[in-house]
Amino acid sequence: MGCGAWSAGSGGFRTWAVPEAEVLLPDTRPELENEIFSSTAGLIRLQAAVNEVVSFQLALRAEGGSASVWGVLVEDLRQGEQVIGADQILL
């Protein structure tokens, strides 16, 4: 799953991902690299066995004022020939 660390434009926002159980507070600083997120690679890494559910938190922080998020686009998850269709992903 790809995830950019910045949105374009002034008044944009920073995005990053953290594990599902991590506590996020209003003053939590963005993590550019952690066990599931790599800003450098632009990836969120998730692992699960067949029929397991896996989750994470997508964090957003406004930069230079306020920002609005109007939607999140989810694409198919792919690894080699294996594909989980976007229609199977719940937000």
pLDDT digits 0-9 by tens, 16-28: 999 999 999 988 8
Is-contact 63 13, C-beta < 8 A?
yes
Spatial separation of the C-alpha atoms in residues 19 and 56, rounded to whole Å: 5
Q: Look at the chain and report how many structural domains it folds into.
A: 1
How many CB atoms are located within 10 Å of the residue 58 CB?
Answer: 15
Q: Is residue 37 part of a domain?
A: yes
Per DSSP, the three-state class of 26 is coil
Q: What is the mean pLDDT of residues 36-59?
A: 89
| pTM above threshold 0.75 | no
Residue 7 lies in a domain: no
Q: Is 27 left (phi over 0), alpha (psi -120 to 50) or beta?
A: alpha
Distance separating alpha carbons of residues 64 and 80, to the nearest angstrom: 39
- 6 occurs within a structural domain: no
